């Protein structure tokens, strides 16, 4: 029994040492591996809480990779038929009749709110692969909704990012950013996000419901809910062309 206790102690000690050897970049890579998806189709509902009341906007999204996405709005009637296309660093918005047109969104327009939500066009343009844009530092551990988390500070490695720095609470088992604070270069807090619910597909975990709060706005925030998600589907290349916007 004495030898058995020693062996068990060694196993637990070794596990603890192994866990501690994870670097901040290792943790961020695990988040990218879990969160970044390609060749997927999803349906989601954006619930916007503003001073004017609450409204829901449903949309369908096609994802090629982190550089390509296509969104078609399904409801309510006033938003139905509107579309959004992202390819690389280009973003276009399509509005149907009575004034059918395609608008290129760039420059200061990217900072505008998407349909009055807490998300900007910049948020939609953001690179999903965090390790490509940020260097990470572990600054502690914490608990969010009874989940043990690593707390990381992220600092941008270039000027071509929407948020100069971030503070992120990352679930130690599911590799999800359960809570996040996003900052400007001046240090001003611009946005908060919090994952309210999750779901599992295979061995990976995804946010089911996320709350976004624009700290420069008086609104109560926006909740994005994933109604369905299909992975590893064949998304046709034409979906990521301007011609698809008028179809």
Task: Work out how many domains the chain is built from and give that number.
Answer: 1
Over residues 202-231, the mean pLDDT reads 94
- Domain assignment present for 47: yes
Calpha distance 140→192 (Å, rounded): 19
CB 225 within 8 A of CB 209: yes
Instruction: Using the structure block, give the residue that is written with the tokens 């969160």.
Output: 35
Tokens of 58: 């449903």
Can you give the residue range of the structural domain that contains 159? 25-246
Calpha distance 68→109 (Å, rounded): 20
CB 41 within 8 A of CB 62: yes
- Domain assignment present for 39: yes
Instruction: Using the structure block, give the residue that is written with the tokens 């589907």.
Output: 233
Task: Evaluate if residue 10 carries a pLDDT over 70.
Answer: no
pTM of the entire structure? Answer: 0.87
Calpha distance 124→131 (Å, rounded): 18
Calpha distance 163→165 (Å, rounded): 6
Calpha distance 116→222 (Å, rounded): 9
Q: Could you tell me which residues are beta bridge partners of residue 111?
A: none
pLDDT in tens, 126-135: 878 999 999 9
Over residues 57-85, the mean pLDDT reads 95
- Domain assignment present for 103: yes
Over residues 203-215, the mean pLDDT reads 95
At 71, is the pLDDT very low, low, confident or very high (cuts 50, 70, 90)?
A: very high
Task: Evaluate if residue 51 carries a pLDDT over 90.
Answer: no
- Domain assignment present for 231: yes
Task: Evaluate if residue 4 carries a pLDDT over 50.
Answer: no
Tokens of 231: 């992975």
Task: Evaluate if residue 47 carries a pLDDT over 90.
Answer: yes
CB 42 within 8 A of CB 231: no
- Domain assignment present for 5: no
Tokens of 47: 């619930």
């Amino acid at each position: 029994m004495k030898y058995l206790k020693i062996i068990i102690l060694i196993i637990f000690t070794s596990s603890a040492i192994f866990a501690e050897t994870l670097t901040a970049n290792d943790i961020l890579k695990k988040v990218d591996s879990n969160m970044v998806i390609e060749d997927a189709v999803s349906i989601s509902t954006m619930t916007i809480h503003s001073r004017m009341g609450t409204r829901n906007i449903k949309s369908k999204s096609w994802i090629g990779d982190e550089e390509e996405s296509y969104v078609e709005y399904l409801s309510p009637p006033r938003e139905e038929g509107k579309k959004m296309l992202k390819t690389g660093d280009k973003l276009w918005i399509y509005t149907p009749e009575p004034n059918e047109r395609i608008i290129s969104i760039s420059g200061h327009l990217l900072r505008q709110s998407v349909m009055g939500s807490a998300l900007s066009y910049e948020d939609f343009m953001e690179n999903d692969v965090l390790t490509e844009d940020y260097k990470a530092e572990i600054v502690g551990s914490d608990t969010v909704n009874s989940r043990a988390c690593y707390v990381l500070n992220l600092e941008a490695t270039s000027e071509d990012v929407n948020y100069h720095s971030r503070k992120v609470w990352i679930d130690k088992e599911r590799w999800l950013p359960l809570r996040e604070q996003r900052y400007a270069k001046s240090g001003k807090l611009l946005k908060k996000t919090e994952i309210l619910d999750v779901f599992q597909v295979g061995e990976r975990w995804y946010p089911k419901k996320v709350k976004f709060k624009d700290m420069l706005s008086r609104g109560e925030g926006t909740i994005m809910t994933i109604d369905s998600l299909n992975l590893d589907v064949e998304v046709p290349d034409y979906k990521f062309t301007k011609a698809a916007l008028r179809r």
